[in-house]
Amino acid sequence: MQKAEAEQIAINALAFIAGEPELLPRFLSLTGIEASQIRQAAAEPGFLAGVLGFILAHEPTLLRFSQASGISPATIAAAPLALPGGTAAYDIQP
């Protein structure tokens, strides 16, 4: 998977989280950021991989996002590998 595709999946996941009243407060609490800081945080390396990590950490959330987005759980699970902070190996790839 290319980085651009993985970024788009993560952006879709962030929009999904923002649109779910029970997920957004939990996401903000776990990340320690304020809702007003999301746009700025999204530019930080590792943030988008963290968004996907949040989705992947809870199977019911993963399945809801998969159904809402039309993206398979396997594709969602592969996306962090193409993003900074998604794996230790990312930083050594050209």
Confirm whether 46 is domain-assigned.
yes
Q: Is residue 90 in a domain?
A: no
Alpha-helical runs (H) found in the chain = 3-18, 23-31, 38-42, 47-56, 59-69, 73-78
What pLDDT score does 87 carry? 65
Alpha-carbon gap, residue 77 to 6, rounded angstroms: 10
The answer to whether position 58 is within a domain reads yes
Inside any domain, residue 91:
no
| pLDDT value at residue 31 | 84
Query: What is the block-wise mean pLDDT of the chain (94 residues), using blocks of 10 residues?
Result: 92 93 90 83 85 92 96 95 70 44
Q: Could you give the number of structural domains in the chain? A: 1
- Does the residue 19 lie in any domain? yes
Residue 93: inside a domain: no
Range of the structural domain that residue 73 is part of: 3-85
Question: Which candidate, 12, 32, 14, places its Cα nearest to that of 23?
Answer: 14
Q: With respect to residue 24, please indicate whether it lies within any of the assigned structural domains.
A: yes
Cα–Cα distance for residue pair 37/48, rounded to 1 Å: 14
